[in-house]
């Protein structure tokens, strides 16, 4: 891939993640007290949004202070992974119980649910792409 294409894809990706991060923070803040059955869901959304914004910000700072940023990225990545698992437990454990709107605001719940599904799809795609590349390279080398 050409460097200009790679840069363009990175900017599009960062723009999407920044927008999604802001949406996570806003939804968590708006519906902070609207989910008495699991009050941690709005907090999960806000912390996840802030974490994603910090990760995107660190990418731009990485050029200057490589080692410190790498350590910080590793710690934030570990925190983000654990927080993702905890949020998945909080949100998905209510899936069958989510009947009455007074238990948890539907906008909040389904936003958190949709976001988690989106992240699972992104993780799945990011795991599949290297496999597909590897298979296509081995197929290409065997044919020619």
- What tens-digit pLDDT sequence spans the chain (144 residues)? 566 777 778 788 888 989 999 999 999 999 998 888 889 999 999 999 999 998 888 877 776 677 777 788 889 889 999 999 999 999 998 887 655 556 788 888 899 999 999 999 999 999 998 888 888 777 666 665
The pLDDT score that the predictor gives to residue 34 is: 87
- Rounded to 10 degrees, the C-alpha dihedral 44/15/128/70 comes to -70
pTM above the 0.85 mark? Answer: no
Alpha-carbon distances of 117 from 30, 111, 113, rounded to whole Å: 21, 10, 6
The number of residues making up the chain comes to: 144
Residue 143 C-alpha from the chain's centroid? 39
The pLDDT score that the predictor gives to residue 1 is: 58
Residues 6+ apart with CB under 8 A from 6: none
């Amino acid at each position: 891939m050409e460097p200009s294409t790679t840069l363009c894809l990175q900017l599009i990706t960062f723009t999407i993640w920044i927008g999604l991060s802001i949406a996570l923070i806003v939804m968590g803040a708006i519906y902070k007290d609207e989910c008495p059955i699991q009050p941690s869901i709005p907090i999960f959304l806000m912390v996840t949004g802030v974490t994603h914004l910090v990760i995107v910000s660190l990418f731009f700072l990485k050029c200057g202070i490589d080692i410190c940023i790498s350590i910080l990225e590793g710690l934030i990545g570990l925190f983000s992974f654990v927080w993702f698992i905890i949020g998945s437990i909080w949100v998905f454990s209510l899936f069958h119980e989510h009947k009455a709107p007074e238990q948890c605001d539907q906008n909040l719940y389904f936003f958190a649910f949709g976001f988690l599904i989106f992240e699972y799809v992104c993780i799945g795609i990011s795991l599949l792409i290297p496999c597909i590349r590897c298979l296509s390279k081995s197929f290409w080398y065997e044919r020619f």
